[in-house]
Amino acid sequence: MLLTTLMLIPLVGSIVVFLLPAAKATLAKQIALGFALATLVGSVLMVLGLDNSSGGLQHVESYDWIPAFGISWTLGVNGISAALIVMAAILVPVVIVAGWWDAENSGRGTVKGFFALILALEVFIIGVFTANDLFLFYVFFEAMLFPIYFLIGRFGGPQRAYAAMKFLLYSLVGGLFMLAALIGLYVVSSRELGQGTFDYVTLTSLNIDPATQKMLFLGFFFAFAVKAPMVPFHTWLPDATAEATPGTSTLLVGVLDKVGTFGMLHFLLPIFPEASKFFAPVIIVLAVISIFYGALLAIGQTDVMRLVAFTSISHFGFIVLGIFVMTSQGLSGSSFYMVNHGFSTGALFLVMGYLVSRRGSKRIADFGGVQKVAPILTGVFLLSGLSGLALPGMSSFISEFLVLAGTYAVNPTAAIIATLGIVMAAVYILWLYQRMMTGVPSKEVEETVTEISRRELVAIAPALAIIIALGFVPQVALNVINPAVDQVQTYVGVTDPESAVVIEGSGS
Amino acid sequence: MNVTVEYQALAPIIILLAAGVLSVLVEAFIPRTLRRPIQLMLVLASIVLAFAYVVINATAQLAGDPVTNGGQVKGLRQLAAGGAVAIDGPGMVIQGIILLVSFVAALLLAERQIDPQGDAFASRSSTLPGSEDERQFTAQGWLQTEIWPLYLFCVGGMLLFPVSNDFLTMFVALEVFSLPLYLMASMARRRRLLSHEAALKYFILGAFSSAFFLFGAALIYAATSSISFSTVAVAMENSSQDGLIIPGIGMIAVGLLFKVGAVPFHQWVPDVYQGSPTPLTAFMSAATKVAAFGALLRVFYVAFGGMRWDWRPMMWVIAILSMVIGSLLAVTQTDMKRMLAFSSVAHTGFILLGVISTSAAGLSSTLFYLLAYGFTSVGVFAIVGLVRDASGEATHLSQWAGLGKKSPWMASIFALFLLALAGIPLTSGFTGKFAVFTAAIDGGATPLVIVAVVASAIAAFFYARVIVLMFFTEPPVDGPSVVVPSAFTTVAIGTSAAFTLLLGIAPQPVLDLVINAGLFIR
């Protein structure tokens, strides 16, 4: 019941906030924050209750839902999903505090609506990471779209309607392909077992013939690649983040897009091992292209929010790369990367949001010399930026290193090319810093940009603290993640090559 | 041949037709002021009674050997009226769906609070549109109570249509329910010329398709010397008269596919849906489709089941055309009723997926889809009828802008229906689509399912567009408003919404029902 309860907390919160009278804006925020913190406590308890010696599903609960179609309410977590849930549970209160005034400032929708939607989103996030019935996963996968759609469409910038619709259509089309594959998988399972099922564990034990596997794999992969997003299915992301509030972007890129890469890791590899191996070379190429293309376009952006979006596309390239090289370093690096990326990109979006809300412009050219006016804000910006470019000492460095080391063992070419992505990351972050923070502040900057407020600092501090802390003691997270990674490798039937670089505390 | 009549098995049909006759007598002998309440009671009571009989028949404990009863423990499974009618599980499910939908639609027909002049039908359809007579009758508040006997005959015919067991009975049933529909379609209170035009088109094309059906039956008779489905099925197996049988199957298919509104026999759908009085559109879009699919299933599973390798390619083409053309043309529509009409064409394509499967799963999934779609369709047209301005219903899409602000509740329920039509999870539409897609893949029609998924994606776009229009655009200054209806429509919309949600969240009981309905009796 633990996981269902964990979903019920934000659900109740969302309903309570929604039912408040519209005038009680402050109360709505406080209640929302309270429920978000309660969810965080619950999710931490959930992780502490995990048995790290086992990579299988834990906290499992299962109830029949539609037996005629083999559909059940089956929840369970392994180390990877548990880590992602905790990350999400930390980011939600962070976003609530950071976006305390976003609803008022961007407003057509009501304040309580904004916070109720964020909590509703959290319900589906927990659902999508814990669902171990593929049908249930699909339901959460689709349900998740709607709070985000409204968060962008009601509280976004001038082009919000366009951005929200583009996001929705991309995701729905991806979802429909997944649905077709899902139905196919169901029929395959019913042919093999006599009675069709959506149960994750049962499905991983099927022997699907390779040709069918490839078809089904492509259906799921398309949906996950749109969600992640990978080049060439990425064009919705910059538009969405450019129009959404920074908090929404944080949740969208930091958490929701992880569903794509999580899906690849948790569903594609174990259920379609043969097809995964077959398509891995192509996907590795796509991933390397994503790394490069994202970084290149980030360098060329003039809008800060779009810039952060493109850095994420580059980072998602790393994550996908680590997953499809299928070595233990690669896999645990990718899993850890998903967690780190949530915090580092979240921090970047939030600090950009602070700057944009002050200056009233998202154009990089409108800034300059901010460090003279707001030194602490500049420091926060630098820290977030450095974690984005994976500086040693930051947790993102560990994960990027693991991915590259894991890749080198099986595909040196991809690893070498991808390493160049790190250099480009330094370019886009440091050049951005130079353009926005250094130099002589213009008159507008001096007038508008003020020092970071205490609330803003409190909001962003946890994300930065975790990035640094995990940079020094990554074992805390890796110990939780690694057993699950081993399990994925067992499902796929791969082992690390002999020449693999063995790294203390990673892999088996 | 000594014909005995199985009154119990035929009770639902007999009740409706008898009530129709009674209703004619009411029209003839009861004073005008009393007619409406009496007719209304008669209609609702007969539908409830007929439904009760369907339930009794479906749950009746059977004597005798379960093997001869088709492996069922419960429910009638017999030929009645000398083999002209087949009462079996799927037939009774179809009858039950028709009765449920008819009950809800009757409530909509009875509504007279949303239009200040009266109900949705012309005060006197014999008057010329725009004439002085018309104005006077309207001013005096006349109501056309003749719709009620027509309605009863129509529902009675629909109950017979899917359980007919030979081509002639089926043809008679087809005419019994079609003729009242043609008439009622012409009786709209507002925009009467449009309504007349729609009815005339419907009548001419309908008569044409009936002729096809009859000609097809004649060819089949020529080849097999029989009109009874089971005899036809056996005779076809051993027949070498392909020159008669294949055209016969094709022509019968034309007649039935016209009624379900499949491409390329769909041209009447948008015009008739748009021109008819909206409550009647609600009834037609749901009940006609259910009844016609019931008949289609029986003909193609029982009579032509052995020939499925011959008719499947044809059905594939029609299903693909219906899904793709229905969805694509819906995107281009600017009128709400026409858009929903094309969406209904697309749904016909989806339902055909279940028919094509020709398996137990195909049958049960089609039944489920029909129930789900029937309620959603009634509900969606019920709400269309509520959005009005001074000149009547405001069906142009642009007039729906910002309706979510003015009437959040109605707009939300409408959005629910649209999401169900789009097949979004947790609505009945999703469960239905899932069921037919699964059956189709299992039946080897994977390419069809891929087309269906693409068509669903196109369809999701135009449903989402309406939702965006309602919730994310500013209302026009002189825009229409949602009229507060009386209890009749409120109950109808509430029931439809409840079924739409329930069949999405907890469909298991209904799935059990359609699965346990078993197969057609032969």
Asked if pLDDT for residue B484 goes beyond 90, the answer is no
B331–chain A Cβ distance below 8 A for any pair: no
> Considering only CB atoms, which chain A residues are within 8 Å of B437?
180, 183
Size of interface A-B (CB pairs under 8 A): 62
Task: Return d(Cα A397, Cα A375) in angstroms, integer.
Answer: 25
What does the domain layout of chain A look like in residue ranges?
Answer: 2-492
> Considering only CB atoms, which chain A residues are within 8 Å of B434?
69, 183
Q: What is the pLDDT of residues B179-231, one digit of tens each?
A: 999 999 999 988 899 999 999 999 999 999 999 999 999 999 999 999 999 99
Q: Select the residue of B457, B468, B508 nearest A68 (Cβ to Cβ).
A: B508
Q: Which helix (H) or strand (E) holds A318?
A: helix A304-325
Q: What is the DSSP string of A191-255?
A: HHHSS---BHHHHHT----HHHHHHHHHHHHHHHHHHTT-TTS-THHHHHHHHS-HHHHHHIIII
pLDDT confidence of residue A508: 42
Count other Cβ atoms within 10 Å, centred on residue B164: 24
Nearest-CA residue of chain A relative to B437? A183
Q: Across residues A354-382, what is the average pLDDT?
A: 90
**Gap from B445 CA to chain A (nearest CA, Å):** 11
pLDDT confidence of residue A494: 84
Counted residue by residue, chain A has a size of 508
Nearest-CA residue of chain B relative to A152? B472
Q: What percent of chain B has pLDDT over 70?
A: 97
Q: What percent of chain A has pLDDT over 70?
A: 97
**Gap from B467 CA to chain A (nearest CA, Å):** 11
Please judge whether B424 and A165 are an interchain contact, meaning their C-beta atoms are less than 8 angstroms apart.
Answer: no
B457–chain A Cβ distance below 8 A for any pair: yes
Counted residue by residue, chain B has a size of 522
B416–chain A Cβ distance below 8 A for any pair: no
> Considering only CB atoms, which chain A residues are within 8 Å of B508?
65-68
SS3 content of chain A, % helix, strand, coil (to 5): 75, 5, 20
Please judge whether B434 and A69 are an interchain contact, meaning their C-beta atoms are less than 8 angstroms apart.
Answer: yes
Mapped onto helix, strand or coil, the DSSP state of residue B271 is: helix
Please judge whether B507 and A66 are an interchain contact, meaning their C-beta atoms are less than 8 angstroms apart.
Answer: yes
Please judge whether A187 and B442 are an interchain contact, meaning their C-beta atoms are less than 8 angstroms apart.
Answer: yes
Closest CA to A231 of A134, A144, A297: A297
Helices (H), B333-407: 336-357, 360-384, 403-406
Q: What is the pLDDT of residues B283-304, one digit of tens each?
A: 999 999 999 999 999 999 999 9
B336-357 and B308-332 are packed helices; what angle lies between their axes, rounded to 10 degrees?
Answer: 160
Q: Select the residue of A66, A176, A186 nearest B511 (Cβ to Cβ).
A: A66
Nearest-CA residue of chain B relative to A174? B457
Lowest-confidence region among A442-451, B15-24, B151-160 = A442-451
Task: Return d(Cα B202, Cα B276) in angstroms, integer.
Answer: 10
Q: Across residues B92-101, what is the average pLDDT?
A: 96
Q: What is the pLDDT of residues A271-319, one digit of tens each?
A: 999 999 999 999 999 999 999 999 999 999 999 999 999 999 999 999 9
**Gap from B353 CA to chain A (nearest CA, Å):** 14
Per-residue H/E/C for B82-131:
CCCEEECHHHHHHHHHHHHHHHHHHHHHHCCCCECCECCECCCCCCCCCC
A138–chain B Cβ distance below 8 A for any pair: yes
In the 8-state DSSP scheme, what is residue A438? S
> Considering only CB atoms, which chain B residues are within 8 Å of A120?
none
pLDDT confidence of residue A507: 43
pLDDT confidence of residue B212: 96
pLDDT confidence of residue B431: 93
Q: What is the pLDDT of residues A384-423, one digit of tens each?
A: 999 888 888 899 999 999 999 999 989 999 999 999 888 9
A218–chain B Cβ distance below 8 A for any pair: no
Q: What is the pLDDT of residues B44-82, one digit of tens each?
A: 999 999 999 999 998 887 655 555 545 555 778 888 888
Q: What is the pLDDT of residues B335-394, one digit of tens each?
A: 999 999 999 999 999 999 999 998 899 999 999 999 999 999 999 999 999 998 888 888
pLDDT band for position A217 (cuts 50, 70, 90): very high
Task: Return d(Cα B355, Cα B347) in angstroms, integer.
Answer: 13
Asked if pLDDT for residue A123 goes beyond 70, the answer is yes
Task: Please give the order of strands across the beta sheet that includes B481-482.
Answer: B392-393, B387-389, B481-482
Q: Select the residue of A138, A153, A183 nearest B438 (Cβ to Cβ).
A: A183
> Considering only CB atoms, which chain B residues are within 8 Å of A69?
434-435, 438, 511
Please judge whether A153 and B425 are an interchain contact, meaning their C-beta atoms are less than 8 angstroms apart.
Answer: no
Q: What is the pLDDT of residues A138-180, one digit of tens each?
A: 999 988 988 998 888 888 788 888 888 888 888 888 888 898 8
Please judge whether B434 and A177 are an interchain contact, meaning their C-beta atoms are less than 8 angstroms apart.
Answer: no
Tokens 């298919």 belong to: B253
